[in-house]
Amino acid sequence: MNWPTFDSPPAVAFVDVDGTLLAETTTYLFARILRKRGLIKGSFVLRALYHGLQHRLGRLDYGRLVEYGLGCINQIPVSELEHIAQLNFKHHVRPKLYQGVDEHFGELRELGTSIVLVSSSPRIVIEPLGQHLGCADLITTPVRIEDGILQGVGDGPPCYGEGKLHWAQHWADTRGLDLGQAVAYADNWSDRALLSAVGQAVVVHPTKRLARLAKRQDWIIIRPLRPRRKLRRSRAKEA
């Protein structure tokens, strides 16, 4: 099914990233580059892969994961992480976006909808994607940065599960918006709190449990195609 159209454009679209815009975990892709450059141990990449599976199954303890992840990269300057994030997007994320992502969210943006990525991935990792899609904002797990180094998790809950609803509600409240004016896009059972709170919900390649809930709630279910093979194979060498 193609990406949805709406009778009237929503005020804001809260958009999950992993599994929703691409069938990958952005942090895992990012970790592979860090490992290739010798900045983290191979065990971190394996752990990221394992936790990606746990997320898909709706069993992820995200608080423990983010604490572990930040501990592994807290000696790498933020400026270097930002550079690697740009490479990650160029070579690994953008080529894997589902077909129609750019066109759909570009059309929504032209109709006046604010596009806001809502992701458990660190802001550094998804910033290039947000720039590419012309997002109005990014909602991610808050972190503390001091002297150009990541120091740890900031105040408030992680942007995962109920935490996504917490931060989306906060974002809407500070702008005088009702969540009934919003649409949310997500793929995972853990996203159901946010999906249930907005005026319109779109689930992307849902698991069976989420698909059953979506049908009961009359949410839109879509299954966009993966990128064409020639796009996936056009990946250049990382600089």
CA–CA–CA angle 162, 165, 167 (5° rounding) = 110
Q: What is the pLDDT of residues 184-212, one digit of tens each?
A: 999 999 999 999 999 999 999 998 999 99
* 127 Cβ contact list (under 8 Å, min separation 6): 82, 85, 138
- For residue 138, what are the β-bridge partners? 117
Q: Which structural domains are found in the chain, ordered by start?
A: 12-232 (3.40.50.1000)
Q: What is the pLDDT of residues 143-185, one digit of tens each?
A: 877 788 777 677 888 898 999 999 999 999 999 999 999 999 9
Does pTM surpass 0.85?
yes
Q: What is the pLDDT of residues 36-62, one digit of tens each?
A: 998 876 665 555 555 555 555 555 555
Q: Compute how many other C-beta atoms are within 10 angstroms of the C-beta atom of residue 5.
A: 10
pLDDT band at 236 (very low <50, low <70, confident <90, very high): very low
CB contact at 8 A, 95 and 116: no
pLDDT band at 230 (very low <50, low <70, confident <90, very high): low
Higher pLDDT, 233 or 166: 166
C-alpha distances in Å from residue 179, one per residue of 5, 109, 157, 189: 19, 18, 19, 19
d(CA 17, CA 11) in angstroms, rounded, equals 19
Q: What is the pLDDT of residues 86-98, one digit of tens each?
A: 999 999 999 999 9
d(CA 34, CA 66) in angstroms, rounded, equals 16
Lowest-confidence segment of 17-21, 25-29, 65-69 by average pLDDT:
65-69
d(CA 191, CA 196) in angstroms, rounded, equals 9
134 φ/ψ angles, rounded to the nearest 5 degrees: 65, 40
The DSSP output letter for 14 is E
Q: Is the dihedral of CA 199, 136, 60, 87 positive or negative?
A: positive
* Helix or strand run (H / E) with residue 144: strand 143-146
Judged against a pLDDT cut of 60, whether residue 234 lies above it is answered with: no
CB contact at 8 A, 21 and 93: no
